[in-house]
Amino acid sequence: EEENARKLRRERTELERSVEDRMIALQSANRALQREANQLRDALRERQEAPKAGVVGQSKPFRELLDLIRQVAASPVAVLIIGQTGTGKSFTARLLHQWSPRGEAKFVIVKCGAMEEEALERELFGWVDEAGLHRGRLADADGGTLFLDEIGEMPLGLQAKLLHFLQDRSYAPVGGSERLSCDTRVITASNHDLDRLVRDGRFREDLYYRLNVVTLRTPTLRERRDDIPLLAMHFLRVYAHGSNKTITGFNERALGVLLNFDWPGNIRQLENCIERAVVLARSAEIEPRDLPRELMSRIGTDEQMPTIPGASLRELERFAILRTLEHVGGSTSKAAKILGISPRKIQYRLNEYRSTPQSGLPAVVSGSGKG
């Protein structure tokens, strides 16, 4: 009997271990499935939200920025967006909001450089008079996001009041004594060197460090040159639709001009250029004559053509076709739609490029002609 009891205890112990091992395996599998489900959900959300947000671009600098936005969006951490004028700082702030848990709430923009100090204070924090309390933009964004553009232009007195809010989430309206509170995420942006403003005594150091937990830098359009065909076509569709005009794309010469211009005004300048071209267009394609003169006059030297120095028109066409094919994974039909030419013409050119390779220009890789 004692032997049977020992045998039963051993069997029970082995059974318990087996059950425990299986529970551990099930828990591990469940965690793996949960991770996969989260990844699929994030990928689906990205696919759904990218078109809604107007995300256009496939260049490496832009993809890296989007990756950072996704990482930062889920956290309430303070974000400072820096970059040149026209590089999309407001767009970046809006993506941070849309891809965050606050995405369904309000997104409020205040340009700090557009108002005098007293008016800006009332705009941000509201005011109290005989008629009662008038809500400011900070309260309007309760539960959502307040985007303070041109934060480097904010007067020092208001910087102290903003710092107080960021520290304890409370503020006093102008003319009021009672402190109010709200749950508002604050995102800021500047095209100034805030480090220098701090050294010059024009920006509070404590506020700078409070705002600068994470810094996102928006790349210039020169750094995103590969995105120019995609952005140009995006703006073309927008403004052609708004003007009730049928414009299918850009001819090779016009696209060559766009690709080789230096774009000191970045995306905003490109958008303005395309809007103007749509208004002036006299055919189904945008032509060089539809573009601003400054684009034509500033591409005459090697310094203004960093992508293909000294390129001929034929070489520019080759560059435009091959770079666009890279963007769309080699699909001639998609590239043709962007460039406004036929897939047959692209295939003809590809065969021509393979037979006459040129140094200094993108190579024709095998498989570039898939539909």
* 164 exposure class (CB count in 10 Å sphere: 0-12, 13-18, 19+): middle
Partners of 215 in beta bridges? 80
Fill in the amino acid letter for 287. Answer: E
User: Within 10 A of 171 (CB to CB), how many other CB atoms are there?
Assistant: 22
Helices then strands, each counted (H, E), the chain: 15, 11
- CA dist 308 → 27, 126, 288, 315, 351 (Å): 56, 54, 18, 8, 21
Q: Along the 371 residues of the chain, how does pLDDT read in single tens digits?
A: 677 777 777 877 877 777 777 777 676 666 556 655 554 554 444 444 444 446 888 899 999 999 999 999 999 899 999 999 999 999 999 999 999 999 999 999 999 998 899 999 999 999 998 888 999 999 999 999 999 999 999 999 999 999 999 999 999 999 988 899 999 999 999 999 999 999 999 999 999 999 999 999 999 999 999 899 999 999 999 999 888 888 989 988 898 899 989 999 999 999 999 999 999 999 999 999 999 988 876 554 333 334 444 556 666 677 778 777 776 677 888 777 777 778 888 888 888 777 665 544 444 444 434 44
Q: What is the pTM of this model?
A: 0.67
Q: What is the pLDDT of residue 55?
A: 81
The CA distance from 334 to 350, in Å, is 15
Distance CA 60, CA 57 (A): 9
Rounded Cα distance, 222 and 260, in Å: 9
- Per-residue model confidence (pLDDT) at position 91: 94
What pLDDT is recorded for position 291? Answer: 93
State the CATH architecture for 225-355: Orthogonal Bundle (1.10)
User: How do the domains of the chain map onto residue ranges?
Assistant: 60-217, 225-355
- What pLDDT is recorded for position 343? 83
pLDDT of residue 47: 46
- Quote the CA–CA distance of 359 and 355 in Å, as a whole number: 13
Give CA–CA dist 253/286, Å, rounded. 9
What is the rounded distance in angstroms from the CA atom of residue 210 to the CA atom of residue 138? 17
User: What is the reported pLDDT for 298?
Assistant: 57
pLDDT digits (tens, 9 = 90+) for 152-168: 999 999 999 999 999 99
Domain 60-217: CATH superfamily, name plus number: P-loop containing nucleotide triphosphate hydrolases (3.40.50.300)
What residues are paired with 79 via a beta bridge? 187, 214
Rounded-to-integer distance, Cα 281 and Cα 336, Å: 20
Q: Which amino acid is at 207?
A: L
What CA–CA distance (Å, rounded) separates 24 from 156?
A: 58
pLDDT over 70 percentage in the chain:
80
